[in-house]
Amino acid sequence: MRRSRLVLKAITALYVLVIIVLAFVPGASDLRMAWFWPFVAFLPAGVMLTLLLGRRRWWVAVGFGVLGAAWVEAAQTVWMPPGYADLDDVLWATLGVATGVLIAVIAMSPRRSHDSPREVTQAGRRDIP
């Protein structure tokens, strides 16, 4: 269990690094202007952050995603040519992170079985139906 968590941390860190590097590579103007690029790029980040932080801290994963997207756009404003950064990219990235978090939360939710209810035993060894 501990090793798989370490692997997930490494994959998440690598993925975030790739997003940051790709954000500063001047690409084709058609791809840069596509609305779906930030959405698709941040969707897996939402899934991985939720897997790392757990179902109950889904809001922290969304917060990290929003801060990450805002940081990327702010850095693009400073270090890239004028017009490269766009506020719409932050909004689409936020929607991508939120969608990834929702997918992870649904996948991690406990499943109810349709079996008969189990009996719970208290400390006094009485069965509660």
Tens digits of residue pLDDT in 29-74: 555 567 788 899 999 999 999 999 999 999 999 999 999 999 988 9
Is residue 36 included in any domain, yes or no? yes
Nearest CA to 69 out of 92, 44, 50, 40 is that of 92
Tens digits of residue pLDDT in 58-69: 999 999 999 999
Structural domain harbouring 44? 2-107
Is residue 94 included in any domain, yes or no? yes
- Residue 126 CA: distances (Å) to CA of 115, 117, 118, 120: 22, 16, 13, 8
Pair 11, 48: CB distance under 8 Å: yes
Is residue 117 included in any domain, yes or no? no
Is residue 120 included in any domain, yes or no? no
Is residue 54 included in any domain, yes or no? yes
* CA gap 70, 33 in Å, rounded: 17
CB proximity list for 81: less than 8 A, separation 6 or greater: 26
Number of domains in the chain: 1
Is residue 53 included in any domain, yes or no? yes
